[in-house]
C-alpha cells in the first residue's frame, strides 16, 4: 500500500550503511518456499473447485441459450476493456522507466521496477478475468441446481466464487514471492522488497479501470432495464421481453466479479509489498522472517479459506446467509490460529504484535457486521427506507440519503480504535528493540493489523462473487419460464447475494481505511529520503533531528492542496455517476425504440434484439471510464509541479527548517501541497465511499424487501417508488463507491512514485 516510497527510502538505507555486507540471513528461506507451495496448491484447489462446479448439470436448452448470451456479452466487453487498459499500461510503463532512469536510479533498478509494474498489472487483469470466467459458467449450474435443491445451488455458487477468491490471493502471493526470488531476495533480502514497488502500482492502475469500466457498464444496463421495464412497462426485473435484460446480467459479471477481483488483488498485493518494506526496516530485529511474514500470512489465509468454503452447506429451509456466515466464522478462527503460529515462529513470539493482528481481524468482523446492519432487510435502516416508499419516490430518496450519511459514524470509530490499539501494540511488542524509533515500531503494528484484516480475503471474495452468480441464476430461471417455486429459491439466494456484495464493499473500504495512515506516512518518509539523498549527493549532511514529518495546514499551499484533494473525490464520483447516467440514457432510448418498432415484443410473439443493447452499453462504458481514471493519475502531478514552480508567489522558499543545498534552500512547497492533497483526499474518499456503498445497498434491499410482499409487494406504488430509489443507489454502490476506495490507493501510489518531481 505504500510501495512507491521504496526508491528514495532505499537510497537513505544505503546512505546510512544499513545494507551492510553481512552474511545473508537464510533462517526464513523455508518459510518462503512453504508460502509459494501453498500458493501453488491453492491454484490447484481453485481448479478442483472449478471442475466440481462445471461438472454439474447445465440446465435445459432454453436456459443454456440465455447463459450463452450472457457469456458472449461478458467476454466481448472484457476483451475490449482489457485491450484499452493494456495500451494505457504500456504507455505508463515507458514513462515510468524514463522517469526512474532520468532521476539517476541505476538501469537495473529501473528495469526491475518496470518489470514488477507490468507483472502486477498482468496479474491484476488475470485476477479480474478469472472471476468473470467462472461466474459466467457457474450461473447456469446454480440455476439448474435450484430446480431440485437450494442447498446444492448454494454450494455451487459459493464454490464458483471461491475460484475467484483463491486465484486472486494466490496470484498476489506467487507474483510477489517469485519476483522476490528472481530479484535476489534470498541473497539480499533487505534490498529486494524495494524492487517490488511497481507491482502495487500496476495492480492499482488495472483495478481502477476494471472497477470503473465494469461499474459503469453494469449500472447503465441495470438502470435502463429497471426504468423502462419495471416502471414504464410494468414487467418483472428479468422478463425476457426487456431488451436490456441480457446487458443487465452481463453487467453483474464484468462489474461485481471482474472489477472486485482486480480490486481485492490490488489490496492484497499492495499490503504484501508495503509490509515487506517495513519488514526490511526491522531487519535487525526479525531478520528475513520479518520480511516474509506477510507472505506466510497470505498462505494461512488461503488454507483457512479453502476449509471455510468446503464446510459450507445448507438445508432447504435455512437462511442462506446463516450458512455463509458459518463459513466466514470458521475461516476467521482458523486464520487467527494460523496468525498466532506465524507470530510464534517468525516474529520470535512477540505476542503484542499478535494483538495488532487481532485488531485487524476484529476490525474486519465489525465492518462486515456494521455493513450488514445498514443493508440487510431485517434491520431498521432498510425497513425505514421501505416505509418511506409508501409516500413516493421523494421520501424514499430523502430517507436513503439520510441512512447513507449515518453509516460512516460507526466505521470511523472502529478504524480509529484499530489504528490506536495496533500502533500501541506495535510499540509495546518491540520495546526491547534498540536503535528503532517508536514511530517505526507503531507503524509496523498498524501494518500487521492490515494483514489481520486481509487474513480472510479469499473467503470474503468468494462471498462477493456468490452475489452476481446467484443474481444471474435468478435471471436465467425467470427468462426460461421455470416454475414459480424455483424462482422463489433463487430469490432467496439472490437476497443473500445482495447482502454479501454489500459486505464485501464494506470490507474493501475497511482495509483501505486501515492503511490510510500508513500511506500518508510513506509519502512523508519518501520526501524525507529524497531530500536526504540530494543533500548527501552534494556532499552535505542533514541537520540532526530534521524530518519531513509535520505538514503545516495553516500554510496556504497546503490548505489549497487539501481542498483539491477533497474536491477530487467529489469530482471523480460526479464523473463516474454522470457516466452511468449518459450510458443509461442510450439504453433507455434503445429499449423504448425496440418496444415502438416491434409491438410483438410486449405481446410475447417476437424476441427483442438483446445484442444491440449489449453493444451500446459496451461502447458507452469504455468511452466514459477514461476521463475519471486519468483524472486520478494526473491530479497529484499537476498539484505538485504547479506549487513547486509557483512557490515564489507565496513568498515561500524554505519551509519547516529545511536545510540548504549549495547555499540555496530546497523548495518543498509542491511536496507539502501534495501532502495536503493526499491526507484530506484519503479521508474524504473513505467517508464518501462508505456513504455511497451503504446507501446504495440499503436502497436495493428496501426494494427487494417490498418485492417479498411488504407494503403491497410488486407493482404497488411503494414498489415503484423503491425502484426509483434503487436506480439512484445503483451508481452509488456499484460504480462510484467501489471505485473510490480503489482511487484512494491509486492516489497514494501515484503520489509516491512521482515524489521526486515535487522537490
What pLDDT, in 10s, does the model give residues 738-758? 888 788 878 877 777 777 777
According to the model, what pLDDT value does residue 22 have? Answer: 44
Band (257; pLDDT cuts 50, 70, 90)? confident
**% residues pLDDT > 90 (the chain):** 24
Q: What is the pLDDT of residues 509-551, one digit of tens each?
A: 787 777 777 767 777 777 777 777 777 766 666 666 666 767 7
659 secondary structure, DSSP code: P
pLDDT over 70 at 647, yes or no: no
According to the model, what pLDDT value does residue 8 have? Answer: 38
According to the model, what pLDDT value does residue 26 have? Answer: 60
Residue with cell 528503532: 436
How far is Cα 719 from Cα 705, in angstroms, rounded to an integer?
9
Looking only at the bridges linking them, the beta strands covering 660-661 and 664-665 are antiparallel
How far is Cα 212 from Cα 259, in angstroms, rounded to an integer?
8
How far is Cα 124 from Cα 206, in angstroms, rounded to an integer?
6
pLDDT over 70 at 412, yes or no: yes
Contact call for residues 423 and 446 (beta carbons, < 8 A) = yes
The three cell numbers of residue 602 are: 410486449
pTM of the model as a whole: 0.83
Burial 677-704 (b: 16+ CB within 10 A, else e): bbbbbbbbbbbbbbbbbbbbbbbbbbbb
543 secondary structure, DSSP code: P
According to the model, what pLDDT value does residue 660 have? Answer: 53
59 secondary structure, DSSP code: -
How far is Cα 387 from Cα 746, in angstroms, rounded to an integer?
39
Look at 530 and 466; give whichever has higher pLDDT.
466
According to the model, what pLDDT value does residue 25 have? Answer: 57
Q: What is the pLDDT of residues 604-632, one digit of tens each?
A: 778 888 888 888 888 888 887 888 878 88
Average pLDDT of the segment spanning 203-224: 82
The three cell numbers of residue 268 are: 492484497
Residues linked to residue 664 through DSSP beta bridges, in sequence order:
661
Burial, 437: exposed, middle or buried (Cβ in 10 Å; 0-12, 13-18, 19+)? exposed
How far is Cα 269 from Cα 359, in angstroms, rounded to an integer?
20
221 vs 78, 199, 321, 498, 590, CA distance in Å? 16, 33, 27, 17, 11
Average pLDDT of the segment spanning 371-392: 91
Instruction: Give the three-state DSSP class for 661.
Output: strand
With CA atoms as reference, report the closest residue to 90 among 256, 205, 216.
205
542 secondary structure, DSSP code: P
How far is Cα 531 from Cα 32, in angstroms, rounded to an integer?
35
Amino acid at each position: 500500500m505504500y510501495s512507491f516510497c521504496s526508491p528514495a527510502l532505499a537510497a537513505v538505507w544505503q546512505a546510512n550503511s544499513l545494507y551492510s555486507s553481512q552474511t545473508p540471513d537464510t533462517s526464513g528461506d523455508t518459510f518462503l518456499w512453504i508460502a509459494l507451495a501453498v500458493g501453488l496448491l491453492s491454484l490447484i484447489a481453485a481448479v478442483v473447485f472449478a471442475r466440481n462446479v462445471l461438472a454439474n448439470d447445465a440446465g435445459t436448452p432454453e436456459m443454456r441459450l440465455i447463459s450463452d448470451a450472457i457469456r458472449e456479452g461478458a467476454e466481448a466487453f472484457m476483451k475490449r476493456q482489457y485491450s484499452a487498459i493494456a495500451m494505457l499500461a504500456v504507455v505508463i510503463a515507458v514513462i515510468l522507466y524514463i522517469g526512474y532512469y532520468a532521476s539517476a536510479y541505476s538501469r537495473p533498478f529501473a528495469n526491475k521496477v518496470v518489470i514488477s509494474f507490468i507483472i502486477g498489472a498482468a496479474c491484476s487483469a488475470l485476477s479480474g478475468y478469472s472471476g468473470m470466467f467462472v461466474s459466467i459458467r457457474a450461473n447456469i449450474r446454480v440455476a439448474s441446481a435450484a430446480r431440485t435443491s437450494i442447498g446444492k445451488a448454494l454450494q455451487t455458487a459459493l464454490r464458483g466464487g471461491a475460484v475467484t477468491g483463491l486465484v486472486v490471493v494466490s496470484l498476489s502471493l506467487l507474483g510477489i514471492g517469485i519476483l522476490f526470488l528472481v530479484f535476489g531476495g534470498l541473497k539480499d533480502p533487505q534490498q529486494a522488497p524495494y524492487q517490488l514497488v511497481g507491482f502495487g502500482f500496476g495492480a492499482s492502475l488495472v483495478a481502477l479501470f476494471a472497477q470503473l469500466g465494469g461499474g459503469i457498464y453494469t449500472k447503465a444496463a441495470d438502470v435502463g432495464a429497471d426504468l423502462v421495464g419495471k416502471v414504464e412497462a410494468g414487467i418483472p426485473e428479468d422478463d425476457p421481453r426487456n431488451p436490456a435484460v441480457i446487458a443487465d446480467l452481463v453487467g453483474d459479471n464484468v462489474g461485481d466479479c471482474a472489477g472486485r477481483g482486480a480490486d481485492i488483488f490490488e489490496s492484497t498485493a499492495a499490503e504484501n509489498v508495503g509490509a515487506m518494506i517495513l519488514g526490511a526496516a526491522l531487519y535487525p530485529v526479525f531478520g528475513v522472517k520479518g520480511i516474509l511474514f506477510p507472505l506466510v500470512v497470505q498462505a494461512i489465509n488461503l488454507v483457512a479459506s479453502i476449509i471455510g468454503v468446503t464446510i459450507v452447506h445448507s438445508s432447504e429451509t435455512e437462511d442462506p446467509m446463516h450458512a455463509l456466515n458459518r463459513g466466514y466464522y470458521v475461516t476467521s478462527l482458523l486464520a487467527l490460529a494460523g496468525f498466532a503460529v506465524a507470530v510464534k515462529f517468525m516474529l520470535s513470539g512477540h505476542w503484542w504484535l499478535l494483538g495488532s493482528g487481532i485488531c485487524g481481524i476484529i476490525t474486519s468482523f465489525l465492518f462486515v457486521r456494521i455493513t450488514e446492519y445498514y443493508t440487510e432487510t431485517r434491520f431498521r435502516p432498510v425497513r425505514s427506507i421501505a416505509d418511506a416508499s409508501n409516500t413516493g419516490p421523494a421520501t424514499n430518496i430523502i430517507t436513503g440519503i439520510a441512512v447513507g450519511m449515518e453509516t460512516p459514524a460507526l466505521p470511523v470509530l472502529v478504524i480509529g480504535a484499530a489504528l490506536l490499539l495496533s500502533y500501541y501494540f506495535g510499540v509495546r511488542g518491540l520495546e526491547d528493540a534498540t536503535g528503532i524509533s517508536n514511530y517505526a515500531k507503531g507503524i509496523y503494528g498498524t501494518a500487521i493489523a492490515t494483514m489481520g484484516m486481509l487474513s480472510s480475503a479469499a473467503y470474503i471474495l468468494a462471498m462477493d462473487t456468490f452475489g452476481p452468480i446467484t443474481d444471474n441464476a435468478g435471471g436465467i430461471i425467470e427468462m426460461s419460464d421455470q416454475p414459480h417455486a424455483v424462482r422463489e429459491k433463487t430469490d432467496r439466494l439472490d437476497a443473500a447475494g445482495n447482502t454479501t456484495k454489500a459486505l464485501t464493499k464494506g470490507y474493501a473500504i475497511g482495509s483501505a481505511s486501515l492503511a490510510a495512515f500508513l500511506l500518508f506516512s510513506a509519502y512523508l518518509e519518501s520526501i524525507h529520503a529524497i531530500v536526504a539523498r540530494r543533500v548527501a549527493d552534494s556532499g552535505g549532511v542533514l541537520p540532526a533531528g530534521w524530518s519531513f514529518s509535520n505538514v503545516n495546514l495553516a500554510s496556504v499551499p497546503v490548505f489549497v492542496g487539501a481542498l483539491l484533494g477533497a474536491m477530487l473525490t467529489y469530482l471523480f464520483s460526479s464523473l463516474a455517476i454522470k457516466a452511468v447516467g449518459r450510458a443509461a440514457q442510450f439504453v433507455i432510448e434503445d429499449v423504448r425504440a425496440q418496444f415502438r418498432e416491434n409491438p410483438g415484443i410486449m405481446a410475447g410473439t417476437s424476441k427483442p434484439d438483446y445484442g444491440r443493447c449489449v453493444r451500446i452499453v459496451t461502447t458507452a462504458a469504455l468511452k466514459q471510464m477514461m476521463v475519471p481514471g486519468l483524472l486520478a493519475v494526473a491530479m497529484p502531478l499537476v498539484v505538485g509541479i504547479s506549487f513547486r514552480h509557483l512557490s515564489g508567489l507565496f513568498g515561500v522558499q524554505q519551509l519547516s527548517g529545511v536545510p540548504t543545498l549549495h547555499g540555496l534552500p530546497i523548495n518543498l512547497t509542491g511536496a507539502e501541497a501534495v501532502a495536503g492533497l493526499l491526507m484530506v483526499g484519503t479521508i474524504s474518499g473513505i467517508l464518501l465511499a462508505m456513504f455511497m456503498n451503504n446507501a446504495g445497498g440499503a436502497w436495493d434491499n428496501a426494494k427487494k424487501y417490498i418485492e417479498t410482499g411488504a407494503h403491497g409487494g410488486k407493482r404497488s406504488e411503494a414498489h415503484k417508488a423503491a425502484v426509483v430509489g434503487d436506480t439512484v443507489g445503483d451508481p452509488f454502490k456499484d460504480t462510484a463507491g467501489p471505485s473510490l476506495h480503489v482511487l484512494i490507493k491509486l492516489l497514494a501510489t501515484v503520489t509516491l512514485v512521482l515524489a521526486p518531481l515535487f522537490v
